[in-house]
Amino acid sequence: MKLLKKTNRYYLLFTSIILTLASTLLFITLNFVSEQQDELNLHTRQEQVINQIRKNGTNPYLPPYIEVKEIPKLINSENRLGETHIYNPIENEKEEYTELIIDKKIKDKNYRIIIRNSHVDADDYVFSILVIILILFGLMLGGLAIINSLISSKVWSVFYVNLAKIQKFSINQKEPIKLDDSNILEFTELNKAIEKLTNTTQSEFKALKEFTENASHEMQTPLAIVQLNTENLIQDVTLNESQSKMLEKIGNATNRMSSLTQGLLLLAKIDNQQFGIDEQVNVSDTVNTQITFYNDLFDSKKLTFTSNIESNIFIKGNHLLCQILFSNLLNNAIKHNINKGKITVILTPKMFKISNTGTEPKVKTNQLFDRFKKSSSLNNSVGLGLSIVKKISIYFDWRISYLYEKGEHSICVFF
């Protein structure tokens, strides 16, 4: 749940409890004070009435407030406090009264003195006060919630802006991350920490990429030296068969190493975004050219080749990378094919599909595009081909999928 909601919930719960307690307490206190006042009032009036009777001998009679009756005998000479309901003809309803009753002997006569006070006013007061307090508390709560919302969304907006920036961040991007400032301490601290983290990771990543590129690059020269010296060595006419074989193996291994470093270098360059993607590439032509180049390889394995290539399909991308992509896919289809197998190529404005017959892959499908995972035991394949294909697809934002069904591998590239 959102932070706002959570904190609000706690505030509201806490405030409600406090306010409920406070209102209850207030109510009880007001009532108590009111009753105390009432009692005091009754006692005072009682005193006044007793004095009046004593002095003037008159029997005050003001029902229901004051009732004095002569009684033959004193029944209860203690003060009795009670509640009673009396009908008020003016208001036409029964009203509540507190009454103080005492039986007293004044100047040789026995009197029952009843003093009454109406609750109504006091009750009304208490009720009004309570209502006002409750409304006030209600406003407070409501106001608290609203102000909380308004201020919080203003305060949190910076957070959300920065959150979006962080979500869009890629370690590979050229610029470092730039977060919006805030005058809230926690957010500033967080900003600084994130900027430091991303800057460090970016520079380390860049260093790693440069290292890979440099290493691959540096390897070209020793490889060239091996190759050239081997080429000079094989000119020697006194070589015997076993020596020739060894030189052949050296030659092959050097080729594989060369392929490998070229591939790694290419991957590093793509990572480095060293290839533009603004060219309008005639994909139909590219595919057809590649196929022409590979014709001889088709023949050598006696492969049947069928194709359905729509012409004049143009896609935004990079010429060289497109060539490499299709070349790798074709090469792969030939390499992992069986003798007298077949290859099918389909090209539409939406996708490129290549299928080839072949044995079941030994590697999990989702790992096929990882570096160096080879799907068959062909020792000579370097294993980078498909990962280059994958990287180029990602670079161009093309989706790629692989399927093995009924003895055929199919790779589909969606533009």
Is 380 a binding residue for other proteins by CB under 8 A? The answer is yes
Of residues 40 and 233, the one with the C-beta less far from other proteins: 233
Whole-angstrom Cα distance, residue 293 to residue 319? 16
Whole-angstrom Cα distance, residue 176 to residue 160? 19
Binding region for other proteins (CB under 8 A) out of 67-75, 81-89, 248-256, 369-377: 248-256
- Read off the tokens for 361: 């892959």
Identify residues 55-84 at the interface with other proteins (CB under 8 A).
none
Identify residues 270-299 at the interface with other proteins (CB under 8 A).
290, 293-294, 296-297, 299
Exactly one of 191, 355, 357, 381 binds other proteins (CB under 8 A); that residue is: 381
Q: What share of the chain is helix, strand, coil (3-state, %, to 5)?
A: 55, 20, 25
SS (H, E, C) 113-147: EEEEEECHHHHHHHHHHHHHHHHHHHHHHHHHHHH
Q: How far is the CB of 235 from other proteins (least distance, A)?
A: 6
Is 302 a binding residue for other proteins by CB under 8 A? The answer is no
Is 155 a binding residue for other proteins by CB under 8 A? The answer is no
- Closest Cα partner for 180 from 170, 166, 168? 166
Of residues 79 and 227, the one with the C-beta less far from other proteins: 227
Is 215 a binding residue for other proteins by CB under 8 A? The answer is no
Query: Tokens 């009197």 label which residue?
Result: 111
Binding region for other proteins (CB under 8 A) out of 45-53, 131-139, 232-240, 354-362: 232-240
DSSP lists the bridge partners of residue 69 as 112
Q: How far is the CB of 244 from other proteins (least distance, A)?
A: 4
Is 221 a binding residue for other proteins by CB under 8 A? The answer is yes
Identify residues 174-213 at the interface with other proteins (CB under 8 A).
none
Long-range pairs for 92-98: beta carbons < 8 A, 24 or more residues apart: 95/119, 95/120, 96/120, 96/123, 97/64, 98/35, 98/38, 98/39, 98/42
Note whether 177 and 169 are within 8 A (CB). Answer: yes
Is 245 a binding residue for other proteins by CB under 8 A? The answer is yes
Binding region for other proteins (CB under 8 A) out of 31-39, 123-131, 170-178, 228-236: 228-236
Exactly one of 18, 184, 224, 394 binds other proteins (CB under 8 A); that residue is: 224
Note whether 265 and 223 are within 8 A (CB). Answer: no
Q: Binding residues for other proteins, how many (CB under 8 A)?
A: 47
Is 217 a binding residue for other proteins by CB under 8 A? The answer is yes
Integer Rg of the chain from CA: 49
Burial class (CB in 10 A: 0-12, 13-18, 19+), 361: middle
Whole-angstrom Cα distance, residue 229 to residue 155? 70
Identify residues 249-268 at the interface with other proteins (CB under 8 A).
251, 254-256, 258-259, 262, 265-266
Is 119 a binding residue for other proteins by CB under 8 A? The answer is no
Q: How far is the CB of 241 from other proteins (least distance, A)?
A: 6
CB-CB neighbours of 369 under 10 Å: 20
Of residues 240 and 312, the one with the C-beta less far from other proteins: 240
Give one DSSP letter per residue of 355-376, joined into a string: EEE-PPPSS-GGGTTSTT--SS
Exactly one of 180, 248, 370, 397 binds other proteins (CB under 8 A); that residue is: 248
Q: How far is the CB of 392 from other proteins (least distance, A)?
A: 13
Binding region for other proteins (CB under 8 A) out of 123-131, 229-237, 360-368, 392-400: 229-237
Whole-angstrom Cα distance, residue 54 to residue 56? 6
Whole-angstrom Cα distance, residue 322 to residue 284? 11
Is 339 a binding residue for other proteins by CB under 8 A? The answer is no
Exactly one of 108, 241, 278, 360 binds other proteins (CB under 8 A); that residue is: 241
DSSP code of residue 184 = -
Exactly one of 378, 401, 403, 414 binds other proteins (CB under 8 A); that residue is: 378
- Give backbone dihedrals phi and psi of 185, rounded to 5 degrees, phi first: -55, -50
Positions touching other proteins (CB under 8 A) are 217, 220-221, 223-229, 231-232, 234-235, 239, 241, 244-245, 247-248, 251, 254-256, 258-259, 262, 265-266, 269, 290, 293-294, 296-297, 299-300, 320, 327-328, 331, 335, 378, 380-382, 385
